[in-house]
């Protein structure tokens, strides 16, 4: 595990929130073909010696009598499909197949809102959500306390952050979304990379809000933020959607880019973990939220991923102490970062305040865009007795 220089999640698979936008139309080259009712989706990864991924996937689909949903050529190379049970044994024994894993639910790491009504997870803009929204935009630019704690804002102009989340408000005046890099992999509800929840917009602002005398400023101010929408309006999704997002980043990102993942589920998902490692192997660095369950992050994915270019982040408050809800464990946690009362950009414009390791990870994503992450002290109240280094420029 890397250290100083160079450097919870709840499984909720809720029905998508109501949307005024039409259901996405399946296309042959995208996240296609609606899942058959009740039929499980399988995630198939090929061995490293398969050179023609699309051709091999089509061959297996023909012989098994199923239709491909999505082909991944850049991360955990393989495909996803509703595979007939009669063909599963043949598929698993094929010498070209390294892994067959059943798809499952994943959720964003919901911001912590003490005593907030239950609808705040799906509608964080409701002013009754205790920091979930309703704030007026500041009349002049504010530097949030977390930005100051990690060493202040730097100039991220020309750098790229991939926000693998609920999307981004592409019209927010304080976010540089002008690069043609956005993608949507959610196959129910709105067919758009635009944020349907608010979580991804908040994450993006902490990473890279523009230094423009309005709203807030990000850690790597002015950097491009790319919306990779893998979670629906309710903050729920599937491992398939998330892997397709990671594959998109691996295909379109470059060494030195940074991806933020403030999402997760309990246990492990080998296919997703391998996809992240494949993308990280191309020089794309990942900042991943440890989770908000007050538990060991080794029991959550993708927080548990171990790679030189993957950083798992716990949360601290302005007293440098870990809140009781932050996941812990060193390893896999590499750094702690501000995650309590974090002011950032809000879907629809202006700013709002959230808390969670979801808010801690983008601080480190911004630092990674600016260079290596150093430390400034250690977090107190770390349950594992091995205090996490606090991330700093």
User: Which residues are tagged catalytic?
Assistant: 165, 199, 358
> Is the Cβ–Cβ distance between 113 and 318 less than 8 Å?
no
3-state secondary structure 219-244: CEECCEEEEEECCCCCCEEEHHHHHH
The candidate with the shortest Cα–Cα distance to 28, out of 64, 67, 78, is: 67
139 CB neighbour count, 10 Å cutoff? 8
From the number of C-beta atoms within 10 Å of its C-beta (0-12, 13-18, 19+), residue 12 rates as: middle
Beta bridge partners of 351: 345
The candidate with the shortest Cα–Cα distance to 306, out of 333, 279, 283, 346, is: 333
**Cβ neighbours of residue 278 under 8 Å, at least 6 residues apart?**
74, 75, 76, 77, 250
The candidate with the shortest Cα–Cα distance to 104, out of 321, 232, 272, 312, is: 272
């Amino acid at each position: 595990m890397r250290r100083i220089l160079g450097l919870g999640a709840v499984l909720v698979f809720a029905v998508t929130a109501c949307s005024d936008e039409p259901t996405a139309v399946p296309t042959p080259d995208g996240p296609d073909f609606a899942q058959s009712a009740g039929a499980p989706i399988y995630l198939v990864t090929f061995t490293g010696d398969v050179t023609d991924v699309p051709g091999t996937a089509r061959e297996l689909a023909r012989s098994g009598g199923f239709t491909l949903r999505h082909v991944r050529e850049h991360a955990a190379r393989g495909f996803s499909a509703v595979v007939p049970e009669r063909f599963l044994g043949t598929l698993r024994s094929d010498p070209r197949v390294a892994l067959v894993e059943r798809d499952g639910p994943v959720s964003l790491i919901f911001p912590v809102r003490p005593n907030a009504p239950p609808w705040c997870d799906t509608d964080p803009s409701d002013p009754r959500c205790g920091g979930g929204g309703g704030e007026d935009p500041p009349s002049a630019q504010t530097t949030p306390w977390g930005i100051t704690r990690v060493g202040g804002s730097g100039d991220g102009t020309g750098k790229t952050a991939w926000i693998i989340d609920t999307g981004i408000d592409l019209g927010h005046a304080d976010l540089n979304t002008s690069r043609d890099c956005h993608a949507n992999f959610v196959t129910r509800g709105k067919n758009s990379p635009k944020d349907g929840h608010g979580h991804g917009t908040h994450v993006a602002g902490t990473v890279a809000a523009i230094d423009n005398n309005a709203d807030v400023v990000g850690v790597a101010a002015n950097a491009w933020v790319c919306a990779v929408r893998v979670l629906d309006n309710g903050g729920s999704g599937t491992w398939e959607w998330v892997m397709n997002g990671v594959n998109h980043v691996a295909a379109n990102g470059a060494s030195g880019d940074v991806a933020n993942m403030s999402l997760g589920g309990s246990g492990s998902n080998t296919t997703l973990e391998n996809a992240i490692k494949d993308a990280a192997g191309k020089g794309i660095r990942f900042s991943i939220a440890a989770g908000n369950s007050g538990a060991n992050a080794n029991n959550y994915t993708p927080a548990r991923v171990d790679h030189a270019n993957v950083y798992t982040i716990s949360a601290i408050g302005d007293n440098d102490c870990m809140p009781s809800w932050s996941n812990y464990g060193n390893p896999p946690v590499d750094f702690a970062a501000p995650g309590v009362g974090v002011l950032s950009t809000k879907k629809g414009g202006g700013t709002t305040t959230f808390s969670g390791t979801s808010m801690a990870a983008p601080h480190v994503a911004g630092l990674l865009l600016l260079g290596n992450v150093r430390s400034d002290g250690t977090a107190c109240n770390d349950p594992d007795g091995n205090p996490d280094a606090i991330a700093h420029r």
